[in-house]
Amino acid sequence: MQVELDLYEVLGVAPNADTKEIKEAYRKLAFQFHPDRNQMSTTANEKMMEINEAYNTLSDPKKRKSYDIPLGYCSVVPKFKKGEKVRVNSHSTSPYKDRTGVVDKEPVKDTFRFWYMVSFESKGFSTISRFAEDELSEAGR
């Protein structure tokens, strides 16, 4: 994959920026370079197109990961460790979405991501289910 622009540089954020930082940078730049604010300037229009492309790629977790891997930005360490509390994201297709559990074992890495076994407690019973890293977030978030 040939990368022409550094999308992180376009938005002025670091490669480890979280989605909140990316959104804030996008809004600031979009306000500054919007063609309506710049008398329909062609340079402002081109800059706005770059900003939109960067935001569309970096705000989507799947697109961002496929952008990051060839550039070496992708993290090779797991996000969570055994015993940590995690929350299943609302975009997950799991019946456990929006529930909090505990990572049961050390994560397993395949070619593309880390996989976690998460334990859920309910009414005295324990259930364990497998999740990809992008389906989980810290329990406090």
Range of the domain at 129: 85-138
pLDDT: which is higher, 45 or 2? 45
Regarding pTM above 0.85, the answer is no
Per the structure, the count of domains in the chain is: 2
Domain annotation covers residue 63:
yes
Q: Are 54 and 96 in a shared domain?
A: no
Q: To the nearest whole number, what is the mean pLDDT of the chain? A: 86
Residues 6+ apart with CB under 8 A from 33: 44, 47, 48, 51
Q: How confident is the model at residue 56 (pLDDT cuts 50, 70, 90)?
A: very high
Domain annotation covers residue 1:
no
Residue 1: predicted pLDDT: 43
Q: Are 57 and 89 in a shared domain?
A: no
Domain annotation covers residue 37:
yes
Q: Are 93 and 133 in a shared domain?
A: yes
Q: Are 62 and 113 in a shared domain?
A: no
Mean pLDDT of 113-122: 91
Q: How confident is the model at residue 114 (pLDDT cuts 50, 70, 90)?
A: confident
